[in-house]
Amino acid sequence: MLGFLVGAILFGLTYGSVYPAVSAIANLGNTYMPDLFNANAWLLIVLLALVSAYLFYILGKKGDPRAKSQTM
């Protein structure tokens, strides 16, 4: 509980000086991922689909962790 309180106080004290700097860097307006990376849109779609398929493959190979802990 003390950590939450200290974190909230630190956030409140540093918000006024940190937020404008972060906002200036992150304020890019309405942009799309292909524009950010200067790449073809279809290339990014294929790349993200391959990464997603690989992650699903890894998770499927690992199995369900809850199935092992529920022994009767």
Residue 11 to residue 22: CA distance in whole angstroms: 14
Residue 72: pLDDT over 60: no
pLDDT of residue 27: 80
Confidence (pTM): 0.52
- Whether 46 maps to a domain, the answer reads yes
- Whether 70 maps to a domain, the answer reads no
Residue 4 to residue 18: CA distance in whole angstroms: 19
- Whether 71 maps to a domain, the answer reads no
Task: Spell out the long-range contacts of 63-72 with Cβ–Cβ below 8 A and sequence spacing 24 or more.
Answer: none
pLDDT of residue 54: 97
- Let me know if 43 is exposed, middle or buried by CB neighbors in 10 A (0-12, 13-18, 19+): exposed
Percentage of the chain surpassing pLDDT 90? Answer: 50
pLDDT digits (tens, 9 = 90+) for 28-59: 778 888 988 899 999 999 999 999 999 999 99
- Whether 72 maps to a domain, the answer reads no
